[in-house]
Amino acid sequence: MHNEHHIIESEHRIIESEQHIMESEHHIMESDHHIMESEHHIMESENHIMESEHHIMESEHHIMESEHHIMEREHRIMESEHHIMEIEHHIMEIEHHIIEWKHHIMYNKHHIIEREHHIMESEHHMLESEHHIMESDHHIMYNEHHIIESEHHIIESEHHKMESEHHITYT
């Protein structure tokens, strides 16, 4: 009787142990499931990290391309500014030439005015000389008139003399 009781207790313990084993196995299975889920989450997270790293690399590539475009544009701006400076230098040279030409024009105008003044002086002298010539011509004509009058008087006087001589001869 005592032995049967031991057997029943032992069987009961075996059943409890089996139940504990089953519970433990269930916990192990649940834990395995959690581990698998966690590993899946880890893989998903790693995949997200890889995607993010890919996006970062793409963004860095875009940044590099943009920086390259910026550098190219800055280079073009510098070239354009250099051309502007060259053009401004040419404009300054042309303005300098214009000032030199204006100076020459003024100098030449001054010479023209001086020459015109000389021409006017020469014309004035010429007019004075012509006036003197006319006066001299007038004097010559006046003197020639006197000579003619004097010659006329001489002829008249000779005529009177001849008449007188004739009168003396025939008296």
Buried-exposed string 90-120: b where 16+ CB fall within 10 A, e elsewhere: eeeeeeeeeeeeeeeeeeeeeeeeeeeeeee
pLDDT for residue 24: 95
Report if pTM > 0.75.
Answer: no
165, two tokens: 């001589």
Per-residue pLDDT tens over the stretch 99-155: 999 999 999 999 999 999 999 999 999 999 999 999 999 999 999 999 999 999 999
